């Protein structure tokens, strides 16, 4: 039963990857998604949160501290999982992958960029519906961009999103700043 499920997920994972990476190619996405993907990178997430902490007060500052804690917690988990599972990136395993970015040397599972995007977006979304409307679609686009750029399988991004979600719920539910 488990083997059948794993086989089913793997075949659909590859099929969805190829659909996003090869079938959805267009000039607009070739320009937009390489920029969107950086929203989940360490430079943007950490710098943005530190700037918010430095230049805002009260609630938003506390939300940003929660987001940094969520980001930290989720990335410890990401690095442990990457070392345990050691999933080869799609461009090293599949033929004809459209690789739109510099190849990465670490493992594919889970997606750190997607995890980061969700770790930050979910914290702010738990506090503000307006921010949820803006940040959650951007976090989804970060995940899609990772597949489009040939860097991750869909399951890498789905699990990354779940890790970001769970870490946000854990941190916000701790009520550290109430």
The residues carrying an active-site annotation are 113, 152
| Orientation of helix 154-173 relative to helix 2-18, angle to 10° | 100
* Phi, psi (degrees; rounded to nearest 5) at 176: -65, -25
- From the list 54, 14, 20, the residue with the least C-alpha distance to 149 is 20
- From the list 167, 174, 178, the residue with the least C-alpha distance to 73 is 167
Give the whole-angstrom CA distance, residue 168 versus residue 174: 10
Task: Give 1-61 as a DSSP string.
Answer: -HHHHHHHHHHHHHHHHHIIIIIT--HHHHHHHHHHGGGGSHHHHHHHHHHHHHH--HHHH
Give the whole-angstrom CA distance, residue 120 versus residue 10: 29
- From the list 2, 21, 3, the residue with the least C-alpha distance to 144 is 21
């Amino acid at each position: 039963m488990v083997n059948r499920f794993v086989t089913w997920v793997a075949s659909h994972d590859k099929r969805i990857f190829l659909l996003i990476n090869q079938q959805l190619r267009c000039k607009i996405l070739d320009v937009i998604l390489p920029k969107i993907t950086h929203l989940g990178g360490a430079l943007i997430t950490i710098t943005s949160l530190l700037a918010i902490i430095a230049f805002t007060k009260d609630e938003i500052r506390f939300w940003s501290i929660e987001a940094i804690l969520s980001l930290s917690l989720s990335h410890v988990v990401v690095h442990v999982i990457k070392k345990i599972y050691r999933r080869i990136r799609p461009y090293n395993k599949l033929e004809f992958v459209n690789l739109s970015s510099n190849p990465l040397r670490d493992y594919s599972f889970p997606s750190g960029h997607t995890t980061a995007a969700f770790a930050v977006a979910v914290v702010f979304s738990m506090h503000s519906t307006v921010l949820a409307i803006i940040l959650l679609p951007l976090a989804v686009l970060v995940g899609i961009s990772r597949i489009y750029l040939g860097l991750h399988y869909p399951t890498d991004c789905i699990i990354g999103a779940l890790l970001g979600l769970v870490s946000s719920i854990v941190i916000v539910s701790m009520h550290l700043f109430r």
